[in-house]
């Protein structure tokens, strides 16, 4: 089954404790991206990647890091999480000129 998977689905952590949210796709897509969803704001792009070892900032990259060492994986790293990063996070992937498909989401709470 073609899909985008994220782990964990739910995470509660404390300020300053480094965490990683994984994203994996099995469709051999070149393009991958991370979004955060906040009430009343819709979804905003954090980072994106056009292919392996090619990443760039989206609209709200502060406080986040990403890496793209393999085509299928695109982890989101929060080196020192803060409460304002409490949000619902979505990973998406697509072929370069195609529609983006989304993972199930990761709900993160930073205390």
Partner 1 sequence: GNSVTQMEGPVTLSEEAFLTINCTYTATGYPSLFWYVQYPGEGLQLLLKATKADDKGSNKGFEATYRKETTSFHLEKGSVQVSDSAVYFCALTHMDTGRRALTFGSGTRLQVQP
Residues that bind partner 1 (CB under 8 A): 31, 33, 35, 40-45, 48, 50, 56, 58-59, 90, 92, 94, 97, 99-105
Q: Which residues face 25 on adjacent strands?
A: 4
Comparing CB distances to partner 1, the nearer of 64 and 90 is 90
76 and 64 in contact (C-beta within 8 Å)? yes
Comparing CB distances to partner 1, the nearer of 19 and 50 is 50
70 and 54 in contact (C-beta within 8 Å)? no
Tokens 């996070």 sit on residue: 89
Comparing CB distances to partner 1, the nearer of 60 and 110 is 60
Phi, psi angles (nearest 5°) of residue 88: -105, 125
* Least gap, CB of 45 to partner 1 (angstroms): 4
């Amino acid at each position: 089954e073609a899909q985008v998977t994220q782990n964990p689905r739910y995470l509660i952590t404390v300020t300053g404790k480094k965490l990683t949210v994984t994203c994996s796709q099995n469709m051999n897509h070149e393009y991958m991206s991370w979004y955060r969803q906040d009430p009343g704001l819709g979804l905003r792009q954090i980072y994106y990647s056009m292919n392996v070892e090619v990443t760039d900032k989206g609209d709200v990259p502060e406080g986040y890091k990403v890496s793209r060492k393999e085509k299928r994986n695109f982890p989101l790293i929060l080196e020192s999480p803060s409460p304002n990063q409490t949000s619902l996070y979505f990973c998406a992937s697509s072929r370069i000129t195609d529609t983006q498909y989304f993972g199930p989401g990761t709900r993160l709470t930073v205390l």
